[in-house]
Structure 1
Amino acid sequence: MAWGESGAWLAGETNDNLYQQLLDDAEAAPERNAERKKVVHPEEMPWEMSRQGLLKHLINEGMNTRIETMDAYMQIVPPGSKSGKHRHLAEEVLYVIEGRGYDMHQDCDVEITDEYFWKPQDKVQKFEYEAGDVIYVPPNTIHQHFNADPERPLRLISCINRIFKQCGLNDLEQLEDAPEYEEGMVLTPDVIRGFLTTAR
């Protein structure tokens, strides 16, 4: 045979039904999806005091919904406070539901070869916004949200593509924690109301 390749491709005695598993998964999908939520009610959306700040998860891979390709959360930044600062490879879009504030964005130079390198650029940009605006965070941009109102909360809805993670590109790095972050904090409606009304 050409190039003597037959000696290589004939080797091996491992057998597996990997294609059949794909067929079985496709056949089981309708029944499996029937059990997954198409509507998520507020009491089913988990709260988290994360290193990025106070979050209410609307759609997340761990929530057993029909959404396959994106995650979304509501972020609440208390009066006069700020979120954590982080960077991720996926682009992000945020809708400002309530309040006014600004973002600080710092682009990074990136090199992807056998290894992945990023270096912050010198320029840091400020973007101001208010309720009704949409904020775009480009890929691999260091960013942080600031609440410019000392009396009212800032609420943002964040949407990000889950496909990056599924492609092995979950490059998420926390550079600074939110001031309110406390590991293991249990959030209740009363605790959350305190964050909405108190400047910290």
Structure 2
Amino acid sequence: MSEVDEAKAFIEPTGEKERAGVGSWKVPRTPYDRFMEEQELPIYRGLGMSDIREIPKSPWKRMGGLGSFIQLDGTDGKLGMYAWELPPRSESTVERHIYEEVYYVFEGRGTTEVWREGSNRRHTFEWQAGSLFAIPVNTNHRIINASSGPVVLVGGTTAPPLFSLFDNEGFIFDSDFAFTDRFDDSDDYFRPKDTPLVADPMRQRAMRVTNLIPDMATCELPLDNQRSPGYRRVIPQMAHGRFSMFVGEHHSGRYSMAHHPPGPGSVVLICIKGSGYTVAWPQTATIRPWESGNGESVMRQDYRAGGMVVNNPGGTGWFHMHHSTGKEPLRLLVFGGIPQGVGIQ
């Protein structure tokens, strides 16, 4: 039941000095908030975490295994995420949905099956720790852990805006529409493609068009230099989707220049190699918060491979910097969800 269904009768003011409504109010829960609560999983919120393996998880009745939703500051309504752990020799339940979904594997190895509703043809591909892959929109799929150890994944989705738009789980999970422009059922759909890099249409930076990258943590990245000297970056364009993401790498001992996106909302930077920390602060603290006496406004999140942080915890226009402190380069997988504007540097 929505807030509109629960609405009471409107009371009109009795004179010119009386105002309609109330002076303060609570922001109502979104349809995606209600969906997360119904799953009876922990919901991890905040600036970030040092390691996804350490956050609380509970049995996930709908999907199998253990799970926890991740809704970091500034990502509400834009990006859905969850941590998921499948025990040895197990498989997830079969599902399909009209939102986009991307997985990164932190631990373990296994296979994924994908097939179109009504088809007897199943596409099966293998993955391992470090793999990145996308599920085509509204295809049936399941994750299989055939190994003797657990599988730990992080999932990123465009579920929040679609829940807000339709507010109907039956449509989101039970639609039979075939997105043939996204999934053509070809034999090599999930075959890793070693095709030449192309320039992304908006910013002309490196982009690789593929649906599976076997080892995103160690594969070679093209030189970019925009964030720091020697910075490397690529955009994985997967499953003909609109899910915004990229992978960037800073040399050990270097950091990104302070910059601020206009928002609205945050992206989530997931550490997949190396270690480091991110600092973020509001623009009201100025470009040099410590020098201006606003050091108490600075927020810091340390992380290692498996950790993550948001770039815009206040929702709009926060400065942030990423620092690589480990012996090996800091590589960050960035989940943006639905693009909502172009960053101003």
| Band of TM-score, shorter chain | 0.5 to 0.7
Which residues in structure 2 correspond to 1:35-184 (within 5 Å)? 37-39=46-48, 45-60=56-71, 65-68=73-76, 69-108=78-117, 120-149=118-147, 151-161=148-158, 162-168=160-166, 170=169, 171-172=172-173
Note if contact 1:37-1:66 (Cα within 8 Å) is conserved in structure 2.
no
Change (3 A) 1:156 1:44: closer
Question: In structure 2, what is the equivalent of residue 186 of structure 1?
Answer: none
Instruction: Please report how far the alpha carbon of residue 121 of structure 1 lies from its aligned counterpart in structure 2 after TM superposition.
Output: 2.5
Structure 1 residue matching 2:60: 3-state secondary structure:
strand
Once the two structures are superposed, what CA deviation does each residue of 1:143-187 show, in whole Å capped at 9, x if it has no partner? 0000121x21111111111111111064125xxxxxxxxxxxxxx
Note if contact 1:53-1:75 (Cα within 8 Å) is conserved in structure 2.
no
Instruction: Please report how far the alpha carbon of residue 128 of structure 1 lies from its aligned counterpart in structure 2 after TM superposition.
Output: 0.8
Distance 2:66 2:79 in 1: 16
Distance 2:58 2:144 in 1: 20
> Which letter maps to 2:150?
P
Relative to its length, the structure with more strand (as a share) is 1
Distance 1:100 1:91 in 2: 22
Note if contact 2:66-2:86 (Cα within 8 Å) is conserved in structure 1.
no
Note if contact 2:109-2:151 (Cα within 8 Å) is conserved in structure 1.
yes
Report how many residues are paired.
133
> Which letter maps to 1:102?
T
Note if contact 1:94-1:159 (Cα within 8 Å) is conserved in structure 2.
yes
Note if contact 1:72-1:159 (Cα within 8 Å) is conserved in structure 2.
yes
Question: In structure 2, what is the equivalent of residue 182 of structure 1?
Answer: none
Structure 1: gaps of 5 or more residues: 1-13, 26-35, 109-119, 174-200
Q: Report the aligned-residue RMSD.
A: 3.2
Instruction: Please report how far the alpha carbon of residue 74 of structure 1 lies from its aligned counterpart in structure 2 after TM superposition.
Output: 1.6
Change (3 A) 1:133 1:80: same
Once the two structures are superposed, what CA deviation does each residue of 1:58-107 show, in whole Å capped at 9, x if it has no partner? 424xxx84312122112111111111111111110000111110011012
Distance 2:138 2:48 in 1: 32
Relative to its length, the structure with more helix (as a share) is 1
What TM-score does the superposition give when structure 2 sets the normalisation length?
A: 0.34
Distance 2:108 2:154 in 1: 12
Distance 1:40 1:133 in 2: 21
Structure 1 residue matching 2:65: 3-state secondary structure:
strand
Instruction: Please report how far the alpha carbon of residue 38 of structure 1 lies from its aligned counterpart in structure 2 after TM superposition.
Output: 2.6
